[in-house]
Amino acid sequence: MKAEDRYLKFVRWSEEDTRYIGYCPDLFPWGGVCEGQGEEETYARLRELVREEIEQLAATSAELPAPATRPMREPAGV
């Protein structure tokens, strides 16, 4: 498993911004970190930002934050 796979990432539509907003609460607790017109493009950008953040933390020997955010319901069979 890659380090970025440990963190919950999600994209949701924002009526206020009329755009999709990408979130990863454990790495970026202040809110949305990217936006886009399409759901897939926004998620791809979010994944890129998460990877970059993890690489940056590793380069400075900083400890990765413990993943704490979980979906409201675990997928069936887990």
What per-residue confidence (pLDDT) applies to 41?
97
What per-residue confidence (pLDDT) applies to 64?
92
78 in a domain, yes or no? Answer: no
67 in a domain, yes or no? Answer: no
Please count the structural domains in the chain.
1
Tens of pLDDT, residue by residue over 15-63, are: 999 999 999 999 999 999 999 999 999 999 999 999 999 999 999 999 9
What per-residue confidence (pLDDT) applies to 73?
67
Quote the pTM value.
0.85
Q: From CA 24, how far away is CA 32, in angstroms rounded?
A: 8
38 in a domain, yes or no? Answer: yes
* Domain of 50, in residue numbers: 3-59
What per-residue confidence (pLDDT) applies to 7?
95
Buried b (16+ CB within 10 A) or exposed e, 15-25: eeeeebbbbbb
